Each structure stands twice: as structure tokens, then as C-alpha cells.
């Protein structure tokens, strides 16, 4: 029975990466098709609000190694939303999620397909070596995985990006999740299913620059932790209990001391330290509460995670992309 694999590629201003990407994909896709009879591929590019020539380059490419579908979002919704769109729009019996900058090596694809055909519902590509990523990114990434997996019951595997193959069953489960703020790494882990892991060395970007600066990564980290753990919320009761216990013993001590030795006026320093410390602790607690309330707020608005502006699908040959919605 012929099987279709949709290759989902989120793109944001990647005009220089498109050419190398198609070139890099040609070999591995041909290899996979040769090795496994009845396997077909399609590209599904999610144009996440590109303002450069990305879409033109995608459409204008001479002979892409597989048919190219493009779903253009109405603005930049972020990579998580773009992936969500990709999973919902994909038609394949399996989906491969891959970055366009060749940091996810296409050479792994034949191996992923083989493992999938052997029965694996998920095949993960794990970065065994991230030395191309820069020390700061590596350190903060390690720190993130450690904190996240400590706080959350859903563990996300270390150094696994979004590059993976997912069987249709798993894709359908992901598409059923109703939340509109989507931390994909966490959701991938949440739906479960056993995963096969392939290790690789993460190469440097082929062209263009990373779209994730420190602030964006920080936002993603907070999103991940608050989406999958209630620990930051719950911890304050314990913290409060601890401080109250300390306060009670200190109060007892002061009262007894005053009763035995009489009034003792000095105490400015301890008073100030106590007030400032408690004020700080309370503000942190309120801030964390705010993070969650903000997320509840945006979730109850029930806005979709993305808006589609246009679709390009070579299967529709009326030459007009606008009326092609479904
Ligand atoms: N990307 C996207 N929307 C965004 C940011 C990034 O679709 O808002 C795409 C980008 O075009 C690339 C992939 O997500 O194909 C990974 O981005 P990038 O290489 O900048 O991330 P890094 O590899 O540095 O983590
Ligand atoms: Mg990259």
C-alpha cells in the first residue's frame, strides 16, 4: 500500500535557505524512496509571516524533490503555532517536522522512515553533540531541561528539537489537544507513545540567522514550564508555611525576652530586613501567579493559534490560490 509522508517545514524569512534545503533533501528522499517501495513525500511549508522572497523562492524552485504545498499564515505567529498549523494541514500517514536551515540533517530521514515502517510511532532525532550552538545556548538549554523535568511530570527528552517523525495516530492525538498556546516539545511528550531515538551532531545553520534571540528563548522556557507544571504555583504555600513557622518562633522569643528583660527599643535593622524580605517574597509569588493568570486569560479567549491567509496546493490546478480553502 502506498504511504505518504508529509514533511512539515516552518519558514520565517528564509529566502536564502530554501535553495540549499531542496538540494539537501533531494538525496535523502530519493534514497528513502529507493529503499522502501510505495513511499511518497510531500512538502508542506508553513510560511509564518515571511516578508522576504521566501514564498517566491519556494514556488519558483525548478524541480523540488517532492510536491510543494504552502500554507501562508496571515502574520508571524511563532514557530509553535506554525508547527500546529503544519500538523493540522498535513495529509500524510506520517509527518516529519524539520527546520529549513539544514540544522536538522536530512540524511537521517531514510533511517527515520525505516524505523517508522518497522513500527515505531515516533522517531526522535537527538542532538548528541551541540558544539555548533554556542556555549551560552547550550548552558541555558541544559538548565532549562533540568528545571523543566524537575518541575513537570511530563519529561521532555534532553536536546531533542522539533525534528522528528510522527505517525498519523500520534498526529491525530496532537490535533485533538484544545489549547491555543502550544509548547510543542511539551505536547509531543504529553501525548506519549514510545519513541525511537536516533543521535546526530547538530550542524551550524546553512544560511541566514537564527530567529531565536535570548529573550524569545526565555519566553519559550517560561511557556514550557508554566504549561506543564503547577509546581511554581503550589510552592508558595510551603514557602509561606516555612516563613510563618519561623515568624512564630521568633515572635515567641521576642515576647519572652521582653517579658524577662524588659523593653528593648533598638530593632530597626531586623524590622527593615523582615519587611523587605517579606515584601520581595510576596511580589515574586504574585508575579508567578500573574504568569498563570495571564495564561488562563489568553486561553479562555479561545482564539485559534493561527490564521491562514493563503494556501498553495499543486493538486488544485485552477491557478488561483485564494479560493482554495478546503
Ligand atoms: N521559524 C518560524 N517562525 C518563527 C521563528 C522561526 O517558522 O517565528 C522557523 C525558521 O524559519 C526555521 C525554524 O523555525 O525553519 C527554526 O528557527 P531557527 O533556525 O531560527 O531556530 P534555532 O535553530 O536557532 O533554534
Ligand atoms: Mg536553526
Average pLDDT, stretch 211-235? Answer: 85
**Residue owning the nearest CA to atom 11 of ligand 1:** 11
- What's residue 225's pLDDT? 87
pLDDT higher than 80, residue 296:
yes
Please report how the helices 168-176 and 184-191 are oriented relative to each other, as an axis angle in degrees rounded to 10. 120
DSSP 196: E
As a whole-number percent, the residues of the chain with pLDDT over 70 amount to 96
Total count of residues recorded for the chain: 326
- What's residue 233's pLDDT? 87
Top mutation candidate among 8, 86, 101, 184 for ligand 1, by most atoms within 8 Å of CB: 101
Can you tell me the distance from the alpha carbon of 326 to that of 307, in angstroms, rounded to the nearest whole number? Answer: 14
- What's residue 314's pLDDT? 81
Can you tell me the distance from the alpha carbon of 94 to that of 168, in angstroms, rounded to the nearest whole number? Answer: 5
Can you tell me the distance from the alpha carbon of 207 to that of 14, in angstroms, rounded to the nearest whole number? Answer: 8
Can you tell me the distance from the alpha carbon of 68 to that of 6, in angstroms, rounded to the nearest whole number? Answer: 10
Rounded to the nearest angstrom, the distance between the alpha carbon of 102 and the centre of ligand 2 is 7
Rounded to the nearest angstrom, the distance between the alpha carbon of 204 and the centre of ligand 2 is 8
Domain map of the chain by residue range? 3-214+308-312, 231-300
**Residue owning the nearest CA to atom 16 of ligand 1:** 99
Ligand 1 atom with least separation from CA of 76 = 8
Question: Alpha-carbon Rg of the chain, whole angstroms?
Answer: 26
Rounded to the nearest angstrom, the distance between the alpha carbon of 220 and the centre of ligand 1 is 13
Decide: 210 in ligand 1 pocket, CB within 6 A.
yes
pTM for the whole structure? 0.81
- What's residue 28's pLDDT? 93
What pLDDT digit, counting tens, does each position of 245-280 carry? 898 898 899 888 888 988 777 778 888 888 888 898
CA distances from 21 to 16, 122, 157, 163, 229 (A): 9, 23, 26, 14, 37
What pLDDT digit, counting tens, does each position of 10-55 carry? 999 998 899 899 999 999 999 999 998 889 999 999 999 999 989 9
Can you tell me the distance from the alpha carbon of 65 to that of 81, in angstroms, rounded to the nearest whole number? Answer: 26
Domain 3-214+308-312 annotated CATH 3.90.550.10: yes
Q: Which residues surround ligand 2, an ion (CB under 5 A)?
A: 99, 101, 103
Decide: 49 in ligand 1 pocket, CB within 6 A.
no
Decide: 99 in ligand 1 pocket, CB within 6 A.
yes
Amino acid at each position: 500500500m502506498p504511504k505518504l509522508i508529509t514533511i512539515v517545514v516552518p519558514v520565517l524569512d528564509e529566502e536564502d535557505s530554501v535553495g540549499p534545503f531542496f538540494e539537501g533533501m533531494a538525496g535523502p528522499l530519493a534514497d528513502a524512496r529507493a529503499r522502501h517501495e510505495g513511499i511518497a513525500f510531500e512538502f508542506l511549508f508553513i510560511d509564518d509571516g515571511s516578508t522576504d522572497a521566501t514564498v517566491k523562492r519556494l514556488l519558483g524552485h525548478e524541480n523540488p524533490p517532492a510536491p510543494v504545498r504552502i500554507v501562508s499564515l496571515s502574520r508571524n505567529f511563532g514557530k509553535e503555532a506554525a508547527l500546529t498549523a503544519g500538523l493540522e494541514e498535513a495529509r500524510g500517514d506520517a509527518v516529519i517536522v524539520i527546520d529549513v536551515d539544514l540544522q536538522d540533517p536530512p540524511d537521517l530521514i531514510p533511517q527515520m522512515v525505516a524505523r517508522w515502517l518497522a513500527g515505531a510511532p515516533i522517531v526522535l532525532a537527538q542532538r548528541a553533540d551541540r558544539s555548533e550552538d554556542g556555549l551560552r545556548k547550550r548552558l541555558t538549554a541544559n538548565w532549562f531541561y533540568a528545571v523543566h523535568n524537575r518541575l513537570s511530570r511530563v519529561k521532555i527528552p534532553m536536546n531533542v528539537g522539533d525534528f522528528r517523525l510522527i505517525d498519523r495516530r500520534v498526529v491525530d492525538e496532537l490535533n485533538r489537544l484544545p489549547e491555543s498556546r502550544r509548547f510543542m516539545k511539551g505536547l509531543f511528550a504529553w501525548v506519549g507513545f514510545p519513541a525511537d531515538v536516533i543521535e546526530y551532531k547538530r550542524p551550524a545553520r546553512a544560511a541566514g540567522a537564527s530567529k531565536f534571540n535570548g529573550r524569545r528563548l526565555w519566553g519559550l522556557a517560561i511557556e514550557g514550564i508554566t504549561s506543564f507544571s503547577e509546581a511554581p504555583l503550589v510552592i508558595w504555600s510551603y514557602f509561606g508555611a516555612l516563613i510563618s513557622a519561623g515568624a512564630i518562633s521568633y515572635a515567641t522569643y521576642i515576647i519572652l525576652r521582653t517579658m524577662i528583660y524588659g523593653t528593648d527599643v533598638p530593632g530597626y535593622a531586623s524590622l527593615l530586613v523582615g519587611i523587605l524580605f517579606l515584601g520581595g517574597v510576596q511580589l515574586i509569588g504574585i508575579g508567578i501567579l500573574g504568569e498563570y493568570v495571564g495564561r488562563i486569560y489568553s486561553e479562555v479567549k479561545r482564539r485559534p493559534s493561527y490564521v491562514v491567509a493563503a494556501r498553495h496546493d499543486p493538486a488544485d490546478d485552477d491557478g488561483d490560490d485564494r479560493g482554495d480553502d478546503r
